Homo-oligomer: A and B are copies of this chain.
């Protein structure tokens, strides 16, 4: 198995390779990290590590490059360490805090910020509100047989949708309808009242039964579907990187980041577990991203689950990425001020 020194060597190689991007030779390790051992000794270790699939050589007589397996080792190691905020992003964090009121705007800004600070790609997914409690319901007549459904949720989130009703209604009728719906539905979780409401309108409002059914169906659609929203920022950052010199692959990646479903797939691994989550290279569910790693974490902002992350090359600076992400996340999340690791 892995001896203590094997571990030292492989971690050193990952560290060095992340910094330089060049295959790492035995001399380098001997000179910079394990000063009391000669290059030849290191070479033997490296040879072992190669058969264990922690390293590989692009060709004989080149240095070694870490495999995803080695990165995993490295990442697990630094996850145990304590980190501190990067100092340079303080001003931006203030700016971010100012936008925290609107979750969508905040996440949009956060992704751009992540991109700017780290030079990787920032991504975010904003989930539905944790508990959907209606605060206000309005039906507004827009034209013949079309009405605007307007729902204000507790917490200030607003949903609206223009719908076509089976038959025309005056604004007065609609007001009456929204009044009745309000008395039943406002202040309680939607899940609890939906069926009650259904029964109630069937019973009391048989005059507009069709319209009511449509309206409630639409409301239910709005409130239970509540799709994730996705954000990206700084996609252009990875353009110059030597790790992405294959433009075809890079194009595939950029293409994915324009589709909501793909981003959804990427972050879904994180949605389960709490806290930081890192997928390296081909660990992640979309094969086009095999050259990328994703560092992500979840938070609650404005009562909604959010996943914020960074996409970079497998050879990304995980340590710094984690720090920055935690900084952003701390600022973003509902339990306010810096709450972890801080300086």
| Interface positions of A (Cβ within 8 A of B) | 101-102, 112, 135-136, 138, 140, 142, 148, 150, 152, 156, 158, 160, 162, 233-237, 239-240, 247-248, 250-251, 254-255, 257-258
A152 pairs with B150, CB closer than 8 A: yes
Query: In the complex, which residues of chain B have a beta carbon less than 8 angstroms from the beta carbon of A112?
Result: 258
Q: Report A254 CB to chain B, min CB distance, Å.
A: 3
Given A239-B250, A254-B235: A138 and B140 interface contact (C-beta under 8 Å): no
Contacts A234-B258, A251-B239, A258-B112: A142 and B156 contacting too (C-beta < 8 A)? Answer: yes
* Inter-chain contacts of A233 with B (CB < 8 A): 258
CB neighbours of A247 from chain B (8 A): 239-240
Are A162 and B156 closer than 8 Å at their CB atoms?
yes
Instruction: Say yes or no: B138 contacts A148, CB within 8 Å.
Output: no
Are B101 and A162 neighbours in the complex by a CB distance under 8 Å?
A: yes
Question: Would A158 and B156 be within 8 Å (CB), given that A251-B236, A258-B235 are in contact?
Answer: no
Inside 8 A of A160's CB, which chain B residues have their CB?
158
By a CB distance below 8 angstroms, the chain B residues around A158 are 148, 150, 158, 160
Distance in Å: Cβ of A36 to nearest Cβ of chain B: 43
| 17 residue pairs A–B, Cβ–Cβ below 8 Å | A101-B162, A102-B162, A112-B258, A135-B140, A140-B152, A150-B150, A150-B152, A158-B160, A234-B258, A235-B235, A236-B257, A236-B258, A237-B251, A239-B247, A239-B251, A239-B254, A240-B248
Name which residue of chain B comes closest to A256, CB basis: B236
User: How many Å lie between the Cα of A250 and that of B158 in the bound state?
Assistant: 38
Q: Is the CB of B254 within 8 A of A236?
A: yes
Complex-state Cα separation, A136 to B178, whole angstroms: 15
Q: Which residues of B contact A234 (CB under 8 A)?
A: 258
Since A102-B162, A236-B255 are in contact, a sample of 19 more A-B pairs with Cβ atoms closer than 8 Å, ordered by chain A residue number, is A101-B162, A112-B258, A140-B152, A142-B156, A148-B158, A150-B150, A150-B152, A150-B158, A156-B162, A158-B158, A158-B160, A234-B258, A235-B235, A236-B251, A239-B250, A239-B251, A239-B254, A240-B247, A240-B251
Complex Cα–Cα for A142 and B155 (A) = 7
Contact of A152 among B148, B239, B240, B255 (CB under 8 A): B148
Q: Within the complex, which residue of B135, B140, B255 is in contact with A136, where a contact is CB–CB below 8 Å?
A: B140
Chain B hits for A250, CB < 8 A:
239
Alpha-carbon distance between A138 and B237 when the two chains are bound, in angstroms: 43
Kindly list chain B residues whose C-beta atoms are within 8 Å of the C-beta of A255: 236
CB distance from A208 to the nearest CB of B (A): 21
**Smallest Cβ distance from A226 to chain B, in angstroms?**
16
Query: How far, in angstroms, from A237 to B234 measured CA to CA in the complex?
Result: 17
Verify A136–B136 contact, CB threshold 8 A.
no
Output the least CB separation between A329 and chain B (Å).
22
Instruction: Kindly state the separation between the CA atoms of A248 and B160 in the bound complex, as whole angstroms.
Output: 43
